[in-house]
Structure 1
Amino acid sequence: MSVDTSVMRAFNRSYVRRVGALEESFLGSGLPYGHARLLHEISLGAQVDGAITVQELRIRLGDLDSGYVSRILRALENNGYVTVRPDPSDGRRRQVDLTDAGQSAAEDLDKRSEERAHQLLDPLTQRQRDRLNEALATADILVRAATITIERVDPRDPVAQEAMGHYFAEIGDRFGFTVGDEGFGDDPSLRPPHGAFFVAASDGAPVASGAVREFPSTGSGHRDERTGEIKRMWVDPSWRGAGLGSRLLRHLEAEALRLGHQVVRLDTRDVLSEAISMYERAGYERIDRYNDNPHATHFFRKSLS
């Protein structure tokens, strides 16, 4: 299937010029765009956690080359904007702190960026601003969703635990009662060779997750190698509508095939109407109850062959 990239390429050329990204001194700040962007991310990290590590910076900026990040950090350090030192909690990592001069520079960048945004928006009518804001918000989440990678992680990994914390909190809120984690981190069925757990992250934070595992045969204690089961599917509410859930579901189906399964099953609850619609659009058919999950009301099956 051919993809028309002309609109996106034209927008990229127009936008980077109008926001000042091509200027040698970004927004007249005296810093190139790369230096200004890194300083902005360091400032954000300082606001949230008090500091940020070099590794976190690379993740937030799309796993930038470590040499490139180090060169910019040295330049910011030479300018007196940051200090780089071993992380007190883990000497193997490096922590980046803003100096007073760096904080002032970051605040100046924020002010200049706000002024440039006004230059772009002020000539428009309110209706045009609303249209632009809506279009940019849609474009932002779709581009971010397209560039997210879905990675296999151990259920005991902190990012998996964070994702499942959001998962259980949301379903408890949606169901109207507290739902326990049912020993999620210690479940061997969600780890190789019996299964796999996946997380999609943006800027280092989980925004979607899900698992596939072998389907336990009823009452036998043996596992049905032909059938897989999809579990723990979750998408951050702010990311819904960007197709991330459907993409994650296809990824889990592909993993089920890789594990040798020809059929997958899953269960859900009636209040999760968005999930039910997604499963039906993806070709899942309703079946009778196949397990004793007290929270589930709807059961689905799909042949992968």
Structure 2
Amino acid sequence: MLGSGPKISIRREEINSETCIAFMNEIMEEIQPLHHALVAPIPDEFRPRHIPEGSVFLVAEVQDDETAAPELVGSVALIPLAQGSANASGLPENVRVGEIKRMVVRPPFRRAGVAVKLLEAIEDIARTEMGLGLLALETWHMLTGAQRLYESSGWTRREVYGRYDARDSQCYDKWI
């Protein structure tokens, strides 16, 4: 658990690196117990395999003191969506859109500001480096903590988009 001392830092990690794949696998391990609560099984195309070229992957690290090695505690990916693609259906076509994916913070570090810092960093990259105007994301209905995080960070609930299913998903967007 984070106290007042540890420093949270955010850094870019190479997409599809060992660290990137490890975090994607960690997400799947964490959500496996939730599968039984879903109305429909998770389609294969939503299972993490790799992050497309042109995307950005960030990790959050915590360092207790200057002599300790940083500990990886969270991650987020930003994937630009191609207009007209199935993944972008239902989103505005007159603006460049990116999708937040693979957002995870390890349980002992939740509610400690890690996710907020990841979101702020990825939103800044989306706006300043990638020239995106709108970000979208999907989370499950049952992940109410994630929903509170997004709403407190200025995200707005929206209709499902792309290939998501309204029975399982809650979608958000944010103009940046």
Instruction: Please tell me the TM-score bracket, short chain as reference.
Output: 0.7 to 0.9
- CA, structure 1 residues 171+157, in 2 after alignment: closer, same or farther (shift >3 Å)? same
User: Aligned with 1:149: secondary structure?
Assistant: strand
Larger radius of gyration: 1
1:138 Cα deviation (Å)? 5.3
Query: Per-residue CA shift, 1:167-222, capped at 9, x if unaligned?
Result: 1111222343786673533x32xx4xx22011123445421000112123234899
Higher strand share: 2
CA deviations on 1:257-294 (whole Å, 9 max, x unpaired) are 12101111111111111110011111111111111135
Q: Give secondary structure in 2 for the equivalent of 1:300.
A: strand
For structure 1, the residue ranges without an aligned partner over 5 or more in a row are 1-136
Q: What residue ranges of structure 2 are gaps of 5+ in the alignment?
A: 63-68
The answer (yes or no) to whether the contact 1:197–1:209 under 8 Å persists in 2 is yes
- Aligned length in residues: 158
Q: Is the 8 A contact 1:163 1:199 kept in 2?
A: no
List, as ranges, runs of 4+ consecutive aligned residues in structure 1 with deviation greater than 4 Å: 177-181, 219-222
Residue 261 of structure 1 corresponds to 132
The 1:220–1:162 alpha-carbon spacing in structure 2 relative to 1, beyond 3 Å, is closer
Tell me if structure 1 keeps the 8 A contact 2:87–2:162: no
Relative to total residues, which structure has the larger helix share, 1 or 2? 1
**Alignment counterpart, residue 163 of structure 2, candidates 292, 297, 305:** 292
Equivalent residue, structure 1, for 2:66: none
TM-score scaled by length of structure 1: 0.46
Provide the aligned C-alpha RMSD in A.
2.7
**Contact preservation (8 Å) 1:149, 1:201:** yes
Against the structure 1 CA distance between its residues 175 and 247, is the aligned structure 2 distance closer, same or farther, given a 3 Å change threshold? farther
Tell me what 2:19 maps to: 159
Distance of 2:87 and 2:113 partners within structure 1 = 37
Q: Does 1:210 align with 2:76?
A: yes
> Match for 1:272 among 131, 143, 147?
143
Maintained 8 Å contact 1:214/1:228: yes
The match for 1:201 is 61
